[in-house]
Chain A
Amino acid sequence: MSTILTVKGLNKRFSGLHAVKDVSFALEAGALTGVLGPNGAGKTTVFNLLTGFVPPDSGSVEFDGQLLDGLAPHQIVNRGLARTFQLARPFLGMSVLENVEVACLAPRVRQQGRPRLRAQRLLEQVGLGERSEFLVDVLPYGDLRRLEIARALATNPKVLLLDEPFAGLGSDEIRPLADLIRSLHRTEQLTILIIEHKLRELMQLVSEVIAMDFGEVVAVGPPAMIVRHPRVVEAYIGNVEIGSALGRTEDSLGAA
């Protein structure tokens, strides 16, 4: 396996707050990796730095053999690094199909078949095929998440960054979405990086975890190791009830 994304020494300050501190990591092509951390750990800022929405103070991102320094968000997407947003951001006032069609018109994928047909196929892939004519404004939250993923897939990415895809979803919606992400990883050979602050969902899904706290990477490793890592335990549970919380996590791991 080859490395597709290398992040070196990323730093970002927001007027006094050191949101991202010297973050470095690498992703192997085809990996399914999680970014774990409590709210405010700097996970979304890392995504914003990777995708050009926020410029870093220092550090570099190398994607697919090229440095992304100073590129605008649309240029980075057109090189094959796509993302979704933590809060779903649909194009209001347009149909579900049109929402995906827009992404199919991007320079990177314009030539890959008729946008409308491609959009319909992508919607079927994420399980929204029958809702393509709906106005996006009436879509329930779980479907908006799928729409975000379809839109990101439309740009035909090599690496997909998912920002808390399970946020705000009920447990009955989480499982099918996790299945979708798993199948995308398997069938499309897609490299996926998922932000999540819910331990259980993330641990069942990914093969490696980058744990963050206070803007720093505190641990990198397989899920089973991460849940026992003292810094992760501290960030999540503090010093109380470590035993019982860990027990619960391991139960859910066992069930996976």
Chain B
Amino acid sequence: MVILKIDWLAALAALVVLAVGPWLSGSSYVIGVLTVALCFGMWAASWDFMSGLTGRENFGHSLFIGAGAYTAGFLNVNFGLSPYISLVAGPLVAVLFSIVMGFPTLRLKGPYFALAMLSAAAVMQSLTIIFSEYTGGQDGLNGLDPMLDSTLAYYYLTLFFLALTAVTLKLLANSPWGTLLRAIRGDEASCQAAGFNVTFYKIASLTISAAVAGLGGVLYAHYQLQVGPDLFAVILSINIIIMVYVGGMGSIYGPIGGAILLNVLTEAFRSFSEYRLWVYTLVLMFIVYFMPQGLIAPLWRKIRAVAP
């Protein structure tokens, strides 16, 4: 119980820092960087909930992000609907995608799920180009309405949704449901032998993962006020997986920290100009080599172990 309390206190402290920091700085640059970082936090946490817990790696998480973001773009730009409708519609469309993808591929063993997700995201990226008269092609859809007038207020809205989804995912991960998802990672046949419909649990957790990723996509779209084919890009999915690894897989909070850390680092390395990617990559290699379990979650576990 004491340990649980420390966890929630730390989460609260992190939330306070994230809430007060941008307000104190007052810089719209800082607010912008952190808004994007929070979106990545939602994407990393949602990837972790399905793939981190069950071990079935999803190499096309951008499929759900793009689905949410383009839903926001279509509804707002093409149909002139209120951005707030997308907060519900975006996740719903992403869930639809996850059912279409999960139902045929998560019944199979082997790499089919990972490969199917990878290709589906790539196919969607091409489709945005092919149907450019509706999607705006390479330029994407521009001129989305902002949800709120002030960027700081929008930052707080994003922070609210990140906190809400993070707590939900963490509670689910700590529940019997999460125990079962970790057991699936351990051994699928043993889960079946224990009486569980493994396929159902994998698909259900993918839909939850997709809903959160789609919501993040909607929030991202209404921050950028633009959606483009890059939101379906493989590199986006890979970046999210890297953030999860750096944060510590299967912990939910670690990947959120990893996402914020790497987003902030990328910005901090701007001073290295053309060497920026080199430095970034070196830091990543350093972390993966010396801390294969990740940085944030293992570090927190160590702190917690010595805490009174």
In the complex the two chains form, is B195's CB within 8 Å of A91's CB?
no
**A109 vs B196: C-alpha distance in the bound complex, in angstroms?**
11
Contact (Cβ within 8 A) A106 B185:
no
Given contacts A94-B182, A98-B179, A105-B180, contact A89 B195 (CB under 8 A): no
> Interface on B for A, CB 8 Å cutoff?
176, 179-180, 182-183, 185-187, 189-198
Using Cβ atoms and an 8 Å threshold, which residues of chain B touch A107? 195
* A216 CB–B CB distance under 8 Å: no
Instruction: Name A77's contact: one of B176, B185, B193 (CB within 8 Å).
Output: B193
CB–CB B179/A74 < 8 A:
no
In whole angstroms, what is the CA distance A56 to B186 when docked? 27
Which residue of chain B has its CB nearest to the CB of A100?
B194
Contact of B187 among A51, A84, A89, A115 (CB under 8 A): A89
Q: How many A-B residue pairs have CB under 8 A?
A: 76
Q: Which residues of chain A have C-beta atoms less than 8 A from B189's C-beta? A: 53, 73, 85, 89
Chain B interface mostly: helix
* CB-based contact B195/A77 at 8 Å: yes
What's the least CB distance linking B194 to chain A, in Å?
Answer: 4
Judging by beta carbons under 8 Å apart, are B195 and A74 in contact?
yes
Segment of A30-38, A149-157, A181-189, A238-246 in the binding face:
A149-157
* Residues in B whose Cβ lies below 8 Å from that of A109: 195
Residue of A nearest to B250 (CB): A93
Of B189, B190, B195, chain A has the most CB atoms within 10 Å of the CB of: B195
A105 to B189, CA, bound (A): 16
Q: B residues within 8 A CB of A77? A: 192-195
Q: Is the pair A155, B195 in contact by a Cβ cutoff of 8 Å?
A: yes
**B193 and A72 within 8 A (CB):** no
Q: Name 10 A/B residue pairs within 8 A (Cβ), A-sorted.
A: A73-B189, A74-B195, A74-B196, A89-B190, A91-B182, A91-B183, A94-B182, A98-B179, A152-B193, A155-B195
Which of A82, A93, A99 meets B193, CB within 8 Å?
A82
Chain A CB count within 10 A is highest, among B186, B187, B198, for: B186
Query: Please, which residues of chain A bring their CB within 8 A of the CB of B183?
Result: 91, 94, 98-99, 102
Chain A's nearest CB lies how many Å from the CB of B298? 14
For A145, what are the chain B residues with a Cβ–Cβ distance below 8 Å? none
